[in-house]
A and B are shown apart, each in its own frame.
Chain A
């Protein structure tokens, strides 16, 4: 069974601070996706990384896929209150298909 562990589980910070969320597994994934979810809504796709060592930047968000494609990180620079939400990583299976394995989630709260 493939498992994805995220850390930290909860994070409460002040606006303007930086933070990093980690997503780790002992399994290799063909791709790694990051989502943000707000209460009562579906997850919204932020980014997809597919190559080991790949780094993608989306404004203040930086995503990295580990060289061995087993782990990933999300770094947010100068967090804003609008960044508040549940962050989820999800791994795509080797060999393709759309059976995603989701991480345990990181609940981020950014306060003024």
Chain B
């Protein structure tokens, strides 16, 4: 069974640009969550999508947005990039059963210069 796939693995962008990251969950999983990981703040929840609807949202500015498609694949977008957005962005796939067992992808390392 294939795991969670995130693309691209690495990305370098300039301040002010926007970026789109992609996540393909484990087959059969309908929930996709996104997290930002930085050395100073650790792993922080961005948002969760389930059946194409945003079900939960973390405390991030509106520059961070996402969506989920009918095949459960998800994308997240960051507009007007800031230096502080440099981080490892992780996608987690869950079946959306009774408890939250999440399986992570390898992440996308975003560097903003």
Judge whether B42 and A44 touch: CB under 8 Å: no
With both chains docked as a complex, state the minimum distance between the C-beta of B101 and any C-beta of chain A, in angstroms. 5
Contacts of A40 in B (CB 8 A): 88, 107, 109
Per-residue A-contact encoding for B48-80, CB less than 8 Å = 1, 0 else: 101000011010000000000000000000000
Q: Which of A41, A98, A104, A105 contacts B100 (CB 8 A)?
A: A98
Of A10-18, A19-27, A88-96, the one contacting chain B is: A88-96
Judge whether A96 and B42 touch: CB under 8 Å: no
Q: Measured between alpha carbons, how far is A96 from B94 in the docked complex, in Å?
A: 12
Number of interface residues of B (CB under 8 A): 30
Tell me the residues in window 16-40 of chain B with beta carbons closer than 8 Å to chain A beta carbons: 31, 33, 35
Q: Measured between alpha carbons, how far is A111 from B101 in the docked complex, in Å?
A: 31
Question: Which of B58, B96, B99 has the most chain A CB within a 10 Å cutoff?
Answer: B99
Q: Measured between alpha carbons, how far is A31 from B102 in the docked complex, in Å?
A: 11
Judge whether B100 and A100 touch: CB under 8 Å: yes
Contacts of A59 in B (CB 8 A): none
Identify 12 residue pairs between A and B in the complex whose beta-carbon atoms are under 8 Å apart, listed by A's number: A33-B100, A33-B101, A40-B109, A42-B4, A42-B90, A42-B107, A45-B102, A48-B99, A90-B43, A98-B31, A102-B43, A104-B42
